[in-house]
Amino acid sequence: MLKTVTLVVALAAMVGTGGCATRRQNAALAGGAIGAGGGALLGAAAGFNPLVGAAVGGGAGATVGALTH
């Protein structure tokens, strides 16, 4: 339940701040969100902690998104 609430709050914050950012910031935000989701899924599927996967995937996705805007 707490994970669901955290996810909803995080997504609402991303949507709420998406309109007042530069293209690079939006790309970093989108990359971070995609990376966090993918990392959580892969972490859970591989038997690891999905929160660690989300943190690693989110950081990598945000970095790649910002660099490739």
Q: Is 14 a member of any domain?
A: no
Q: Is 6 a member of any domain?
A: no
How many domains in the chain?
Answer: 1
pLDDT of residue 12: 73
Q: Is 15 a member of any domain?
A: no
Q: Is 2 a member of any domain?
A: no
The dihedral of CA 5, 8, 11, 12: what is its sign?
A: negative
pLDDT of residue 22: 87
Q: Is 56 a member of any domain?
A: yes
pTM reported for the whole predicted model: 0.67
Q: Is 3 a member of any domain?
A: no
pLDDT single digits (tens) 9-59: 777 776 665 567 789 988 999 999 999 999 999 988 988 888 999 999 999
First-to-last CA distance in the chain? 34
pLDDT of residue 63: 93
Contact yes or no for 19/13 (Cβ under 8 A) = no
Domain boundaries, position 28? 23-69
Task: Say how many C-beta atoms besides its own lie within 10 A of residue 65's C-beta.
Answer: 21
